[in-house]
Every structure is written in structure tokens, then in C-alpha cells.
């Protein structure tokens, strides 16, 4: 199942401070509810895990988060997330594009979910992703 979501956020932080936050994966990944860095591979690539709650069920995904594009001049970065369900057959992969402006920015997420999580249905998946990203943007605005 594939889905795309768009979110915006506002912040009073200077744009360079927001840029530093989104390009520091060690600080950024834990802003996702249930997310944590397991290992820093280099400045633009980490191994990470996320525990996602979907109703009464919790699923753990392990994988990588990599900054695949970044342009400090335009304050735009693209990240690729590749994760596999621990002990399961599912995958959760995403491309996330951050575009910053003077008062905040936007986040475009293109996600592809397979396995047990996808069997919950598109409405459930979109609801969980939307809630995760909204929570994330609130934390990002304060970084």
C-alpha cells in the first residue's frame, strides 16, 4: 500500500537552526514517536528502529534512515527510510522531503507499507502516519 501525505509546521527558530536540526539524524530520528538511533554509520546515514502502535497492536521496524539529497542554500533535504518489520514479513519504506522557509516549512512523505501493517487498511495506515508526522512536526518546531 502506498500513500502520500503533506504537512506544514511553523517555528520561531531561525531557519539555520531548523536546517541544522533536520540534517542531524541523531537529533531528528528520536523526534519520531517510538524512534531511536541504533548506530550512526556516517553524518547522513543511521541504523534506526521505530515502534509503531496501531490500535492494540505494536510493531517494531528496524532499518536505515539516509539523507539522499541536501541543499543548504534552498534549505531542502530528502531522506530515504527503509525498514523491515522485526520478526515479520512487512516493510515500511518512505521518501521524506523537507523544505524550510523563514517561518517553518513543509514535509512531503511518500510511504510504502507492506505486510501485517498494510492489512490494517489504508485508512488505518494514513491515520497512524498522519498522527506520527503531526507529533513529529510539533517536536521539530521546538528543536
Helix 15-22 and helix 122-141: axis angle, to 10°? 130
The pLDDT score that the predictor gives to residue 1 is: 86
| Amino acid 116: pLDDT | 83
**pLDDT for the residue numbered 89:** 86
Decide if pLDDT at 28 tops 80: yes
Q: Find the angle CA(41)-CA(46)-CA(50) to the nearest 5 degrees.
A: 150
For residues 10 and 1, is the Cβ–Cβ distance under 8 A?
A: no
Q: pLDDT over 90 for what percent of the chain?
A: 80
State residue 137's pLDDT score. Answer: 92
Q: Mind listing the pLDDT tens digit for each residue in 85-130?
A: 998 789 999 999 999 998 999 999 999 999 888 888 888 889 999 9
Q: Which fold has domain 2-141?
A: Alpha-D-Glucose-1,6-Bisphosphate; Chain A, domain 4 (3.30.530)
pLDDT of the residue at 57: 81
Instruction: State the chain's mean pLDDT as an integer.
Output: 93
Mean pLDDT of 19-32: 96
For the cut 90, the answer to whether the pLDDT of residue 61 exceeds it is: yes
Please state the pTM of the whole predicted model.
0.92
Amino acid at each position: 500500500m502506498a500513500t502520500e501525505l503533506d504537512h506544514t509546521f511553523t517555528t520561531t527558530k531561525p531557519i539555520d537552526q531548523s536546517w541544522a536540526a533536520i540534517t542531524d539524524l541523531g537529533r531528528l530520528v528520536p523526534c519520531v514517536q517510538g524512534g531511536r538511533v541504533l548506530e550512526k554509520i556516517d553524518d547522513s546515514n543511521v541504523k534506526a528502529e521505530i515502534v509503531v502502535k496501531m490500535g492494540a497492536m505494536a510493531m517494531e521496524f528496524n532499518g536505515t534512515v539516509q539523507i539522499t539529497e541536501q541543499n543548504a542554500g534552498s534549505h531542502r533535504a530528502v531522506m530515504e527510510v527503509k525498514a523491515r518489520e522485526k520478526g515479520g514479513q512487512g516493510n515500511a519504506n518512505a521518501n521524506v522531503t523537507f523544505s524550510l522557509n523563514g517561518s517553518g516549512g513543509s514535509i512531503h512523505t511518500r510511504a510504502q507499507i507492506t505486510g501485517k501493517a498494510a492489512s490494517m487498511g489504508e485508512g488505518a495506515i494514513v491515520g497512524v502516519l498522519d498522527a506520527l508526522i503531526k507529533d513529529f512536526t510539533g517536536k521539530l518546531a521546538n528543536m
